[in-house]
Structure 1
Amino acid sequence: MRPRTQRAIRTALTLAAAAVLCTPATTAQGAGGTFGPLPPANPATAANGTATMHGDSASSDTTPYPGPGSGAVNWSRTALASACPTVVIGSDHRPVVLCTTIFGQTPTVHLLDPGTGADLASLALPKGSLFGGVYAYLDNTDALVLVDGGNNLLRIGHHTTADGWKLAVDQTTPLGAAVPAGDNIVGLSPGWNGRVWFATGGGTIGTVDTTTGTVRTLNTGEGVQNSISTVPGHTAVATDHALYLLTETPDGTPTVEWRAPYDRGPGRKPGQLSWGTGATPSFFGPGTGTEYVTITDNAAPHENLLVYRVAGGPNPVCTTPVLTQFPASGTEDAVIASGRSVFVTNTYGYPYPALPAGAPASVPASAGFDGGLSRVDLDADGNGCHPVWNSNVKSAALPRLSLGDGKIYTFTVSGPTGSAGAQTFASYSYATVDPETGAQLSSSWIGLGLLYNPLQMTGTTGADGTLYQGTETGVIRVTRR
């Protein structure tokens, strides 16, 4: 999911209001060997799998934890009257959820009871023209790190009081002086040396030392519509024109290691929210989990998976079209990247209830939503890649690969999925997929309409095997029966 998805959520919530008066080095066996290892655990975050929207600061979209499985499940819904794109879980096992309310479109943090999913505490935050907290992460003290609408970097802790749980801003670091007028921070991720990296929609990339308040920046001159990813010594940022790999000088000034332009296609595709890649960069590899970095481009009619060696400069290891079982493909989702394998989700034609303000007309003007997944593996010698399977599973969420049980977890959609159907008659199910073959292993019906629409947001599995899936109106909690 991308920061402009939050803009779309804000507009969608206006429509929804009328309708609803909201880590170990784990591996898993696969057909081509093993998936994994996990990327290295970032010392500044909570454990891999539950620290960020994409699981970890490398944005692998993997988890070390087994999920609810392919058998019978129980589920419950926490109604928050909000769209909830980020669920993270710390060492105390309590889910922390970042949402945007339907009424007022206010960014709000919630603390949930891990046993029941009940809302224990909430904290509303200032909103701006673009609230950058979609990509909040949980730090190594279980505090939520995010940027509010005033371009302040916040650390929000949850604390017990005589009256129960309370959420509070424990630290504030102003970033406004480093952000050009009219711009907003859209992504952030911690480095390995204590600094926090950020990127703005206008293309400014920076680091901040929250102990001193020192901020250093560079400007790419290109729009950024995705979050950013960090591994030891490197930060990856995808603009609407190119993939950047960056490092920093001793004083924290970002420097470009290499820049790789990509095919951005003739325009915004239906099922995407802006013109350019829909993928947050993902680091992966069979050795350290950081040898490669990957995104998708926006080529027409089929997008390409692009894989680069981190140490190899801007020449791709491979460029291959994906989701070719359909007439056209594109994605608004990050990929799953693990070991030698990359999994790409098709969102081409996905019916977001609304588009961000200023989004260009799509090319073509409209399209049906087919869904589907593709798996691509790097060649054994690391000098190319090859397709492994294409699947027609109609994923309505960004899937996640469990290295704990070797399953892909997602929510699927069936029935009418036009803009009206997505609000009223579309049917959503919890589902598991075999990463070896792409076959759907199980499906458990959840419900109809916007109360259950996951809006291509990703679920998070806790250490106890509970899956939390954000939806357009709250959070669904799934457990093994």
Structure 2
Amino acid sequence: MRRRLKGYGLALAAVTTTLGSAPALAPAQGPIPQTPLAKAPAFTGTAATPNPVAAPEPPRHPHMAANGRSNLHSDAYQTDTNTGFGPLGRELSVTSSFRARECASVTFDRRGRIVTVCVGLERTTLELLDPKTLQTLAEMQLPARDLTQAGGLNVFQNFTGGGYFYLDDQDRAVIPTASRHLFVVALDDQQRWEIVRDVDLTSAVPSGDAIISALPDWAGRIWFASRSGVVGVLSRDGTIKTLDLQEPIGNSFAVDETGGVFIVSDKAMYRFDAGPDGVPRATWAEPYQNTGGDPKPGQSQAGSGTTPTLIGEDLVAITDNADPINVVVYRRGAQPPEGGAPRKTCEQPVFTKGASSTDQSLIATPELIIVENNHGYTGPAAVEGGRTTTPGLTRIDLNPDGTCSLGWTSQETAPSVVPKLSLASGLVYTYTKEARSDGDDSWYLTTIDVRTGKTVYKALAGEGLGFNNNYAPVTLGPDGTAYVGVLGGLVALRDGVPLPEPDLASRPPAQRAARLVFRCERDGVVRAEVKGSAVRRVRFRLGGRFRADDRRAPFAIATRAKPGTTVTAAATLRTKRVLTSTRRVPRCGR
């Protein structure tokens, strides 16, 4: 599994030059150079046996590529979950491609090819890559970041200029660029990149500011957010409307099918909706705990370090900036919660005081949340020479009503990666680095059992500066390969033994295994019923309050609750798995 290269010192100098100040030519696409004579083991643990996790798949966004292929957080809900496999550790092989630019956001077109933006100091490129060899099939240079306009940001914590982009439903890359334009880029008939739309956003995002992310809502309008707090909407006719929060924004955002756009600033968690005139309006705002002052070591901003994550049909989760930080869960609906209930349903402390921070989106299903500790990561120098950061990944157990409690905590150390959960395998995929007294800098793809928190296996991705992922995610490809963007370029780990077919029978989508349906009856009565041959028990909540524990079919309640009231059904299957669905009471008749 190890790669030893002659001329390592010269190659490492090329990486260091590119990560430093002087411009460098694009490197040849050989393997990323590694530290010679390192002694880290290539593989520890045992190959995994799949143990699928039951969870409903977020709805497919009509204006984005398929779930798992569209953006760095997997889907429009930003769940960081994948229905398919990652590598199980069966005869693993490692492939890397040296570019001296970090290919962080990895997406996949309909043919399974990689579409990625590779960001460097002097050069940013849009790349089409072969998913097996990682060789370039098409490349286009994008506007380079003007580091004089970075607003004092640590260059290794600046995600503007293409760090967040998405692949749309036509396999086009939609990229907020460093020039404060929005590019829509497609492949032409000769398989070359071509800008098919160039939207000038400089009138909305002033000089000195930068666009952090862009995503479409369900109506096809493209929303964008800037580092300084501008929230904007590009309508389908090209009109641009904005709202200036005057609160810094450091991460991407999430969108749902109700029109909600969920953005966290350094001050508050927001839901935005487009008003009748297309202007973005804050539907609600919830300030969160914040220590204030400078960013904690491990975060790129002085506030929440998370992209909001949508859970089921009713919840949104972030971490705050308390000490220690909390996982915070809110009801995300546009209307205030019924009965005067608070919007916040959960505030769970994680990690320890003085050593708790994260800059990564949460993994979430309706039953669990995974949060990672990045405390101590301030850039590549923080983990050089055998050093590392504060350990910890923690599972939060989530109840149907949004309340929560602590689950397990793993002592694995993931300095700055966005982890992923494979629902097919039941494994959390993270990227770790242990402290070593011999000064070795070894980076591992590490798998954790999502049920127990125990480490299953660790596979060496590479050794040295070029394999530092610097805030990039683990991305699980359509064929089960795990990709990690690193400072040297891109690394891929895949099984040598073919993956099994996903066990769909033991991991049914909630809408088939336990479907919550409504029927309008006479006199304004609405009947809510859970259908599914495997259902053995259903607990119903109406408007957040317990209503019934039904142990016999048909599993149903009748209500005259007003339209829009939430009905949550937690269905226990004969396999003892629990699937939770939340829907709103429909409007019956006229």
TM-score scaled by length of structure 2: 0.69
The letter for the 2-side match of 1:281 is P
Overall identity of the aligned pairs, in %: 34
2:448 paired with 1:433: yes
Show the counterpart of 1:239. 265
Question: In 2, are the aligned partners of 1:137 and 1:146 still within 8 Å (CA)?
Answer: yes
Is the contact made by 2:230 and 2:242 (CA closer than 8 Å) also made in structure 1? yes
Aligned equivalents of 1:12 and 1:256: distance in 2? 41
CA distance in 1 between partners of 2:186 and 2:260 (Å): 28
Residue identity in the other structure for 1:228: F
1:384 to partner: Cα distance: 1.6
Matched, 1:13 2:19: yes
**Is the counterpart of residue 390 in structure 1 residue 409 in structure 2?**
yes
> Corresponding residue for 1:198?
224
Give the alignment of 1:11-50 within 5 angstroms: 13-14=19-20, 34-50=53-69
The change in CA–CA distance for 1:242 and 1:12 in structure 2 (over 3 A counts) is farther
Q: Show CA shifts across 1:25-63 (max 9, x none).
A: xxx977xxx552222111111111121011112111111
* Contact 1:70-1:441 at 8 Å conserved across structures: no
For 2:459 and 2:189, locate their aligned partners in 1 and report how far apart those are by CA, in whole Å. Answer: 36
Question: Residue 444 of structure 1 aligns to which amino acid in structure 2?
Answer: A
Cα offset, 1:173, TM superposition: 1.4
Change in Cα spacing, 1:214 to 1:61, as seen in structure 2 (3 Å) is same
Q: What residue in structure 2 maps to residue 295 of structure 1? A: 318
Three-state SS of the structure 2 residue aligned to 1:451 is helix
Q: Does 1:77 align with 2:96?
A: yes
Supply the AA of the counterpart residue of 2:247: E
CA distance in 2, matches of 1:219, 1:281: 19
Distance 2:93 2:143 in 1: 36
Letter in 2 for 1:414: E
Q: Does 1:445 align with 2:471?
A: no
Residues in 2 aligned to 1:272 and 1:245: alpha-carbon distance in whole angstroms: 23
Distance 2:480 2:305 in 1: 29
1:115 aligns with 2:132: yes
The 1:159/1:461 distance shift into structure 2, 3 A limit, reads: farther
The 3 A distance-change label for structure 1 pair 47 and 53 is same
Instruction: Report the equivalent of 1:147.
Output: 176
Find the counterpart in structure 2 of residue 361 from structure 1: none
Residue deviations 1:159-210 (CA, integer Å, cap 9, x gap): 452xxx422212111111112342221111111111111111111111102x
Give 5+ residue unaligned stretches, structure 2.
Answer: 1-14, 33-49, 151-159, 497-590
Task: State how 1:399-438 maps to structure 2 within 5 Å.
Answer: 399-416=419-436, 425-438=440-453
Letter in 2 for 1:386: S
Cα drift, residue 351 of structure 1: 4.6
Q: Contact conserved, 1:78 with 1:119, CA < 8 A, in 2?
A: no
State the distance in 2 between where 1:259 and 1:226 align.
Answer: 17
Which position in structure 2 is the counterpart of 1:362?
none
Instruction: Measure, in 2, the Cα distance between the counterparts of 1:439 and 1:333.
Output: 21
CA RMSD, aligned part only? 2.6
Q: Which is further off, 235-244 or 34-43? A: 34-43
Listed one character per residue, the Cα deviations across residues 125-172 of structure 1 (whole Å, up to 9, x for unaligned) are 1124354321100001111101112211111123452xxx42221211
Residues 44-89 of structure 1, C-alpha deviation per residue, up to 9 Å, x if partnerless?
1111112101111211111122111133311100111101221111
Q: Tell me what 2:285 maps to.
A: 259
| Maintained 8 Å contact 1:29/1:35 | no
Distance 1:214 1:298 in 2: 36
CA contact (8 A) 1:377 1:385 kept: yes
1 or 2 for the larger relative contact order (CA 8 Å, sep ≥6)?
Answer: 1
Whichever residue aligns with residue 291 of structure 2, its letter is: G
| Partners of 2:220 and 2:328 in 1: CA distance | 30
Question: Residues 238-269 of structure 1, C-alpha deviation per residue, up to 9 Å, x if partnerless?
Answer: 10011101111233211111101011214321
Equivalent pair of 1:298/1:304 in contact (CA under 8 Å): yes
Distance (Å, rounded) in 1 between the aligned partners of 2:402 and 2:196: 48
1-structure distance, mates of 2:355, 2:378? 16
- SS class of match (1:134): coil
Match of 1:216 among 222, 237, 241: 241
Deviations along 1:346-392, one digit per CA (max 9) or x if unpaired, are: 0001251279xxxxxxxxxxx96122101112224x15210111111
- The secondary structure found in structure 1 opposite 2:20 is helix
- What TM-score comes out, normalization by structure 1 length? 0.85
- Give the corresponding residue for 1:307: 329
Write out per-residue CA displacement over residues 396-436 of structure 1, whole angstroms, 9 at most, x where no aligned residue: 4221011222211122112359xxx9xx8311112211111
**Residue identity in the other structure for 2:345:** V
Q: Taking structure 1 as reference, are residues 292 and 383 closer, same or farther at Cα in structure 2, changes over 3 Å only?
A: closer
Name 1:137's counterpart in structure 2. Answer: 166
